[in-house]
Amino acid sequence: MMIELKHTVPVKELLSIPFSKTEETSFFLVDIKSYLEDLKREIKLYENNEDWHKDHITSVWASTNPEEALKQMKNFQSEYGLIMLGDGMDPECYLHTLTKTEMQAMAELKPWELDSKASEYCAKLAKICLDNADSDCVDVQEAMPSKYSPSVLKSDIQLDLC
């Protein structure tokens, strides 16, 4: 599976915007090419019954499933993505394309749909993102980049291996 990734946001500008301070949502900025490599690497580790301590991928209250995440990534087009991880026992955990349309849609959600501080952060991102890729959103609860993953450009929490 070959995905053509598009440049939708200047990475320096992206990394310069501070995450909103919130207890309800955690943020991860992810290099998608590196994340895809991590998923493929994890699949090989599992196929070869290699030591899970080498993993770059973990899960949030679910079994780790890099194969399913890789399948879901087939329409993902932006070279960087935003993972928003909700708080709680069964948190929502989605990887969003960094496009103007996707970030604007997140910014316009009601407070009961998305934490208002997370919406504010998305509004800031919408201002610097282009709309040259399709918007997409992928559930990555079963394939989150761990603190050992080189795909994480910036995050406000670190996930260890489960």
pLDDT at position 87 = 82
The pLDDT score that the predictor gives to residue 72 is 92
| Count of Cβ atoms closer than 10 Å to residue 115 Cβ | 19
Find out whether 153 and 11 touch, Cβ atoms under 8 Å. yes
The pTM assigned to this predicted structure is 0.92
pLDDT tens for each residue of 17-58: 999 999 899 999 999 999 999 999 888 888 888 766 666 777
pLDDT digits (tens, 9 = 90+) for 128-155: 999 999 999 999 988 888 888 899 999 9
| Helix or strand run (H / E) with residue 86 | strand 80-86
Instruction: Report the candidate in 157, 160, 154 with the shortest Cα–Cα distance to residue 18.
Output: 154
pLDDT at residue 109, as a whole number: 95
